[in-house]
Amino acid sequence: MTTQTVTGLKGKHLLGIADLSAEEIGLILETAEAMKEVGARPIKKVPTLRGKTVINLFFEASTRTRTSFEVAEKRLSADTLNIAASTSSVVKGETLVDTALNLEAMAPDMIVMRHASSGACHLLARVCKSRIINAGDGMHEHPTQALLDAFTIREHKGRIGGLKIAIIGDLLHSRVLRSNLLLLGKLGAEVWVAAPPTLMPPDVERFGVHSTTSIDEAVRDADVVMMLRIQLERMQGNFFPSLREYFTVFGMTEERMRRAKPDVIIMHPGPMNRGVEIASEVADGPYSVILNQVANGVAVRMAVLFLLSGASEGDQL
């Protein structure tokens, strides 16, 4: 495993993978190793963030990410508050900044936010004193997902550099894709992306990846296959004729998986649409690490919460 050469994160916030160096990513993954052990203890709790308050501010639906952050916060003994947009003053017309400043008046230490608008976390970071953690902003980034994906790949393959990683599905609407491309690029993986032309981001090559409309080409000899969800809720217009046709051409089946390396692992950030982007036999197959991803999400988020709770270069002392 890599040995990190940095001992802290430079930034105060975690807004995206774009801001992190390869060494900082290494530090987060190493720290997550230690955090994973905490989750395996009889008492799955350490006193590290005792007295710290973390607000989970979710303007978009989420089960996995919100629960995962909450479990991570509780395992570190932080006090947590959950605010869902549907039950907050947002429905009365309050702006994001006003909501944030009002929450901040109650002196939280960190705010974990998910929002439908790309860049919402950056806006919050400019007006708030609290540490901000991006739990997904629009179609922009979802950094903790990419970090837990990297952690899971490393756990199974021992490394990331040099692996062939195929990412397949609704690439256009995916913040998970963006964060993963940035991260896998920094750590030196060979990344292939596959999607129908209508769901391929026009500028995807600038991330240094191979793009194709052939799922078989992407999967051939892959070490890792990552499936992305068809995000019907973000689609305005017709991107493909029908879900059934999508599955026929771009769905991951056992047949297609055979083209990959024999020790391939298959990943999915969830929630899965079985029979749309992934066949049930594949999702539940022996090479599936989809539930490991969920388990590792807690450890990775604990690492991020812990590392951000220290002082950073940007602090005024």
Partner 1 sequence: MPVVMDAARVERTIARIAHEIVERNRDLDQLALVGVRTRGVPIARRISEAVAAITGTRIPVGTLDITLYRDDLMRHTVGPQPVVHRTDIPFSIDDRRILLVDDVLYTGRTVRAALDALIDFGRPRSIQLVVLVDRGHRELPIKADYVGKNLPTSPRESVQVRLAETDGQDEVVVQEAHA
Binding site for partner 1 (CB under 8 A): 4, 7-9, 27, 30-31, 33-35, 37-38, 41-43, 45-52, 76, 303, 306-307, 309-312, 315, 317
Catalytic residue status for 92: yes
Smallest distance from partner 1 to CB 43, Å: 4
Q: In sequence order, what are the residues at sequence separation of 6 or more whose Cβ sits closer than 8 angstroms to the Cβ of residue 263?
A: 223, 287
Smallest distance from partner 1 to CB 31, Å: 5
**What per-residue string of b and e applies to 225-250 under the rule 16 or more CB within 10 Å gives b?**
bbbbbbbeeeeeeebbeeeeebbeeb
Structure tokens at 10: 């430079």
Which entry of 142, 164, 173, 256 is annotated as an active-site residue?
A: 142
Which entry of 52, 75, 114, 140 is annotated as an active-site residue?
A: 114
Query: Is the Cβ of residue 51 or residue 93 nearer to partner 1 in the bound state?
Result: 51
Catalytic residue status for 63: no
Smallest distance from partner 1 to CB 13, Å: 14
Cα of 217 vs its chain's centroid, Å? 25
Q: In sequence order, what are the residues at sequence separation of 6 or more whose Cβ sits closer than 8 angstroms to the Cβ of residue 172?
A: 139, 195, 198, 199, 200, 201, 239
Work out the number of other CB atoms within 10 angstroms of the CB of residue 88. 16
Work out the number of other CB atoms within 10 angstroms of the CB of residue 315. 8
Smallest distance from partner 1 to CB 12, Å: 11
Catalytic residue status for 114: yes
Which entry of 12, 53, 64, 220 is annotated as an active-site residue?
A: 64
CA distance 83 to 80: 10
Smallest distance from partner 1 to CB 179, Å: 23
Query: Is the Cβ of residue 44 or residue 258 nearer to partner 1 in the bound state?
Result: 44
CA distance 256 to 248: 11
Query: Is the Cβ of residue 172 or residue 302 nearer to partner 1 in the bound state?
Result: 302
Smallest distance from partner 1 to CB 303, Å: 8
Start-to-end CA span in the chain (Å): 35
Catalytic residue status for 64: yes
Which entry of 13, 31, 36, 65 is annotated as an active-site residue?
A: 65
Long-range contacts of residues 247-251, Cβ cutoff 8 Å, at least 24 apart:
247/275, 247/276, 247/277, 247/279, 249/196, 249/215, 250/168, 250/169, 250/194, 250/195, 250/196, 250/215, 250/277, 251/275, 251/276, 251/277, 251/278, 251/279
Query: Is the Cβ of residue 41 or residue 234 nearer to partner 1 in the bound state?
Result: 41
Query: Is the Cβ of residue 52 or residue 66 nearer to partner 1 in the bound state?
Result: 52
Query: Is the Cβ of residue 7 or residue 238 nearer to partner 1 in the bound state?
Result: 7
Catalytic residue status for 142: yes
Q: Which residues are catalytic?
A: 64-65, 92, 114, 142
